[in-house]
Structure 1
Amino acid sequence: MKKKFLALIVGSLLSGAAMAGGYQVNLASQRQIGMGHTGTGITTGTSSIFFNPGAMSFLRENGVTIGASGIISKIAYQAPEPSGATAMTDNPTGTPFHVYGVFGISDKLKAGLGVYTPFGSTVNWGNDWNGRFALSELTLQAIFIQPTLSYQITDQLGIGAGFVYAIGGVNLQRDLPLQNSEGAYANAELDGKANGVGFNAGIFFKPSEQLSFGLSYRSKVDMKVSGGDVTFSNIPTSPAIAGRFPAGTEFDATLPLPATLTLGAGFMPTQDLTIAVDVSHVGWSAYKSLRFDYSQDVNGSNFAENARNYKDAYIYRIGGEYNVSDVFALRAGAYYDGTPVQEGYLTPETPDSDSRGLSVGFGYKLSDDLSVDASFLYINKKKRTDASDLSGGIAGTYKSVAYIPGIALNYKF
């Protein structure tokens, strides 16, 4: 009973971070979002820093890209019968961004720097739903900083790699099943900063003007939280209860953000038409459990651990771009993203399921050096019901959708 209660208090902190991974924020380029977020097997401009560092060596001009998206998302919940109670998240608009810069050291050697947000989310269930003792609000932020080098070995072959330094933070709030003398529920807030390191590498091969291939690998990044703060409020004043939730408690934890291996191909049947296909393998099986180590006992224990047992997943993408004129291009794409969350492990932080994405976009050249890209992505996750509880979740049916517009500016010099 003690372990179960402790898990209810703190067990969802890094599962929220994993939600951002399970919801992997694939919004690394407005041009590529418009094409279903393909890009490993084609040259994508400065965003090759993310999609395939090997293709960066094929760029013939220096360039800078600045872009951002707006995530408008909703998650609906229905409790099992006989209750059947419903709830809806009130999430603020998320704003993931990306900044890329590429500079040619020589004709064959290119250097670049990317700053982007591949993980991040805000989920706000409020304090009135029946799962408030598991989660009321979660905010996660993660920023990857990636210096990159790329070298064109031959006219057809390029390689590249970049070092990744990741920084981030998480804030979680939830009610506790305890009431003070005024009838208010106790509350727990967990707040911590995280960092980690990794790398991104790729090979790009273009045997002809009509065909190209790419292989990229983004490594696992272990995000480490050290000295995170655990704050309790509205705890009953009874010494027997208050003493179980000491002030000044800190925690340490490590969360693995999974490795991704992607194989891509590009087809250019005409000078104006590009078709791209990507298949990604995401190594979610690295995420087996959560463990929190505390600076002092919380409810009688100095640690908590919860099973997650994620499974590896695949993402299938297809997209196209058609140059209507010398200054205007139209784009469209689609993808299918399999969930890593197995039955029995669905939580309010990760109400994840297989996802379908549809996207459109356009590019417009304002001048020879300046252009703009715009995109719109619609994500529809399958409705999913989970009645079991292997991870401290809330049984019920979940349904998620998201609407994501975005815009970017590109400058060549």
Structure 2
Amino acid sequence: MRKILLLALAMAPVLAFAQGFQVNLEGNKQIGMGHTGTGMAQDGAAIFFNPGAVAALQQNYVQGGISPLMFKSVFNPAGTNEQYHTANKVAPPFTFYGAWGPKAAKWKVGLGVYTPFGGLTDWGTTWPGKYTAEMLNLKAIFFQPTLSYRLTDRLSIGAGFVYNHSSVDLTRGIPLDNSSGQSGQAEIKGSGKGYGWNAGIYFKASSKLTIGFTHRSEVKTTIKDGDAFFTVPTSIQGNFPSPNQFTASIPLPATNGIGFGFYPTKQWTIALDANLVGWNSFKALSFDYKNNTATLKDTHSPRNYKNTVSLRAGAQYKAKPDLALRFGGGYVTAAAPDGYVTPEVPDASRVYGTLGLGYTLAKHLDIDVSFEYEHLNSRTQTNIETQLSGTFKSNVYIPGISLAYHW
């Protein structure tokens, strides 16, 4: 039991970064079209989807949006008919983009602020996996200044520097009861930073076809001098120095993408995207406490994650000059191998569908709304370190809205 406890505590602050927390909510037009956008120059969200397409935008943009994410999961312990549900909580991924350049210029500059990783999961304090996770609140905010240049009328390139600021707050039970029979608890809180880049190429092959290529680099995020608090029986408090500090790091994965935009008529736009996400960079997890004891030791634990593939498709129909209707969907493979699935977000292959609507409120002002339903395939697992065994079934619901001013 003590060995399991040590491993669980060691994993606490950073495991969730790798458990399918790539939320991909970086533009409401793009969400409505199934998260496609690599091969199109639609609006300021091109700063994220393809910096090369920014110089191809016909106008300048300032826009912002929010996509409240509601994650619903149920756990059925192995050999029982019991079910345990996550609490109803909402994570608030958001975006802000600004893209500007003189009207006749071949270049544009931009700034993107967005949340590509994050989530909020709360299993409570009474479920069977409380010694693995009770509550997680994770935010990763990327700041991306960007420069894009149009080499020819058909070809443009772009790149942006990425600064990441992340924060995590996680609580979990400790299997050590006090005199009243209450379990102990660990709370892990910290913030970290990392650096990377985002680059893309945009090519207008014809009036009917555009193509985009992107690479978003790995962003290795380090949490330094985070805080760890342990609530344990008085007799063993010396084994769990509290407050304590920790240092940990993890790579947020690189992404390679290709996208196509098809324009068969003036009313219709069809898009296809494919992404390869480099989760295989997450080979192991190391965790360093500032104050160690015979019970609380530093650890190095293998993770052996694998790359994931996402396939996306979407369409837009311009019903009126001021009204656009959108729909799309996609499929994403799982990063966590068998034996490494955890309840922070029970990673699994997934399918999703999206709807969207765009409306011109005024000459220079647009509103875009979207909705996504995501279904994670059920996954029956026994974690090799915590031995938590059972079946996870999860769904995600994501409404969204954004405003864009363009000129």
Bin of the TM-score, shorter chain as denominator length? over 0.9
Between the aligned partners of 1:14 and 1:53, the Cα distance in structure 2 is: 29
Q: Give secondary structure in 2 for the equivalent of 1:119.
A: strand
Asked whether the equivalents of residues 318 and 325 of structure 2 are also in contact (C-alpha less than 8 Å), the reply is yes
What corresponds to 2:17 in structure 1?
17
Between the aligned partners of 2:342 and 2:294, the Cα distance in structure 1 is: 23
Q: Give secondary structure in 2 for the equivalent of 1:300.
A: coil
What corresponds to 1:404 in structure 2?
398
Asked whether the equivalents of residues 216 and 261 of structure 1 are also in contact (C-alpha less than 8 Å), the reply is yes
Provide, for residues 252-282 of structure 1, a one-character-per-residue CA deviation record: whole Å limited to 9, x for no partner.
0101100000011111011111100000000
Between the aligned partners of 1:352 and 1:292, the Cα distance in structure 2 is: 22
Q: Give secondary structure in 2 for the equivalent of 1:54.
A: helix
- C-alpha deviation, 1:183, in angstroms: 2.1
What corresponds to 2:386 in structure 1?
392
- C-alpha deviation, 1:367, in angstroms: 1.5
- C-alpha deviation, 1:301, in angstroms: 4.5
Counterparts in 2 of 1:34-45, with a 5 A limit?
A: 34-45=32-43
What corresponds to 1:86 in structure 2?
83
Summarize the Cα distance change of 1:123–1:196 in structure 2 as closer, same or farther, 3 Å threshold.
Answer: same
Of all paired residues, the percent bearing the same amino acid is 43
Equivalent residue for 2:328, pick from 327, 333, 337: 333
* In the alignment, structure 1 residue 356 sits paired with structure 2 residue 351: yes
Counterparts in 2 of 1:4-403, with a 5 A limit?
A: 4-19=4-19, 22-81=20-79, 83-105=80-102, 107-233=105-231, 235-238=232-235, 241-387=236-382, 389-392=383-386, 394-403=388-397
Bigger shift: residues 146-155 or 64-73: 64-73
Provide, for residues 304-345 of structure 1, a one-character-per-residue CA deviation record: whole Å limited to 9, x for no partner.
233221100100000000101110010000110111111111
Provide, for residues 14-67 of structure 1, a one-character-per-residue CA deviation record: whole Å limited to 9, x for no partner.
112222xx2311110010000001000111211100000000001122111111
Q: Give secondary structure in 1 for the equivalent of 2:239.
A: coil
Summarize the Cα distance change of 1:348–1:393 in structure 2 as closer, same or farther, 3 Å threshold.
Answer: farther
Bigger shift: residues 186-195 or 296-305: 296-305
- C-alpha deviation, 1:400, in angstroms: 0.6
Between the aligned partners of 2:68 and 2:363, the Cα distance in structure 1 is: 28
- C-alpha deviation, 1:393, in angstroms: 5.4
Between the aligned partners of 2:16 and 2:270, the Cα distance in structure 1 is: 36
Q: Give secondary structure in 1 for the equivalent of 2:263.
A: strand
Provide, for residues 152-175 of structure 1, a one-character-per-residue CA deviation record: whole Å limited to 9, x for no partner.
000000000000000010011011
Aligned length: 406
Unaligned runs of 5+ in 2: none
Between the aligned partners of 2:282 and 2:215, the Cα distance in structure 1 is: 18
Q: Give secondary structure in 2 for the equivalent of 1:403.
A: strand
- C-alpha deviation, 1:402, in angstroms: 1.0
Between the aligned partners of 1:84 and 1:11, the Cα distance in structure 2 is: 29
Task: Give the alignment's TM-score, normalised by structure 1.
Answer: 0.96
Asked whether the equivalents of residues 306 and 391 of structure 1 are also in contact (C-alpha less than 8 Å), the reply is no
Alpha-carbon RMSD: 1.3
Between the aligned partners of 1:193 and 1:115, the Cα distance in structure 2 is: 17
Q: Which runs of 4+ in 1 moved over 4 A?
A: none
Provide, for residues 349-380 of structure 1, a one-character-per-residue CA deviation record: whole Å limited to 9, x for no partner.
23111110100101101122001001010000
Between the aligned partners of 2:390 and 2:16, the Cα distance in structure 1 is: 18
Between the aligned partners of 1:54 and 1:329, the Cα distance in structure 2 is: 24
Unaligned runs of 5+ in 1: none
Task: Give the alignment's TM-score, normalised by structure 2.
Answer: 0.97
Asked whether the equivalents of residues 227 and 243 of structure 2 are also in contact (C-alpha less than 8 Å), the reply is yes
Asked whether the equivalents of residues 12 and 188 of structure 2 are also in contact (C-alpha less than 8 Å), the reply is no
Summarize the Cα distance change of 1:102–1:67 in structure 2 as closer, same or farther, 3 Å threshold.
Answer: same
- C-alpha deviation, 1:12, in angstroms: 2.8
